[in-house]
């Protein structure tokens, strides 16, 4: 199988990410533990895996893209709310037939206002938009309950089987039994997750 990313072990003052190899057609679940540290850790690793910063222990053979969460200013949200159609026109590759899947949800139409979508629907919207432009992604399931997180995981898992790859940053271990490749972060002594824990990379 074609190698997409090879990690030989990422070590910082605070933690260690054990080695793993991401192949085409696979999804790797990287368990970061939940807590205040999660976002900073996720953003640091995202920059490495997407090639924004280089790390001597990580080799990228194909560019990966982070699935960011939809954000809109409060002013625009109130007075000029975006619709799904407007968002797709601006951010998606409309020629990709994959986008048709977005409208399998009877509550989502092109005229639906994004501020009316639930958290899971917004997450899926961004997944579909990203998948319309690339098959290799880095994503999370922040803000989703266990069932919706599993639904999202299964959707991505099924999608990358057809020639893609994914790394999922997870804050809980609910997906451990469903993942073929499950990697757990190892915290260094003195840096175990605690409220208001701070560390430097």
In a domain, 199, yes or no: no
CA dist 200 and 137 (Å) reads 26
Binned at pLDDT 50, 70 and 90, residue 44 comes out as very high
Phi-psi region of 145 (alpha: psi -120 to 50; beta: other; left: phi over 0): beta
Binned at pLDDT 50, 70 and 90, residue 73 comes out as low
Do both 34 and 78 map to the same domain?
A: no
CA dist 140 and 106 (Å) reads 24
The lowest-confidence range among 60-69, 72-81, 108-117 is 72-81
Do both 89 and 113 map to the same domain?
A: yes
In a domain, 197, yes or no: no
> Domain range holding 33?
1-64+135-192
pLDDT for the residue 200: 52
What's the chain's length in residues? 201
pLDDT for the residue 79: 63
Tens digits of residue pLDDT in 117-130:
888 888 889 999 99
Do both 108 and 23 map to the same domain?
A: no
Residue 33 has pLDDT above 50, yes or no: yes
Select from 88, 105, 133 the last residue of a domain.
Answer: 133
In a domain, 9, yes or no: yes
Residues 6+ apart with CB under 8 A from 116: none
The lowest-confidence range among 66-75, 109-118, 190-199 is 190-199
């Amino acid at each position: 199988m074609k190698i997409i990313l090879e990690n030989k072990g990422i070590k910082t003052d605070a933690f260690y990410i054990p080695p793993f190899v991401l192949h085409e057609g696979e999804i790797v679940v990287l368990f970061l533990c939940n807590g205040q540290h999660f976002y900073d850790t996720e953003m640091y690793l995202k920059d490495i895996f997407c090639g924004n910063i280089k790390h001597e222990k990580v080799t990228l053979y194909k560019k990966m893209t982070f699935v960011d969460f939809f954000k809109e200013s409060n002013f625009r949200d109130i007075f000029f709310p975006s619709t799904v159609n407007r968002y797709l026109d601006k951010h998606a590759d409309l020629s990709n037939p994959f986008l048709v899947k977005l409208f399998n949800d009877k509550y989502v139409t092109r005229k639906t206002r994004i501020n009316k979508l639930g958290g899971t629907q917004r997450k899926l919207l961004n997944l579909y938009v990203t998948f319309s432009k690339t098959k290799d992604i880095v994503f999370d399931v922040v803000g989703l309950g266990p069932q919706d997180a599993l639904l999202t995981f299964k959707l991505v898992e099924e999608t990358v089987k057809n020639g893609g790859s994914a790394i999922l940053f997870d804050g809980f271990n609910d997906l451990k039994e469903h993942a073929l490749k499950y990697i757990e972060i190892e915290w260094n002594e003195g840096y175990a997750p605690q409220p208001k824990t701070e560390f430097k990379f």
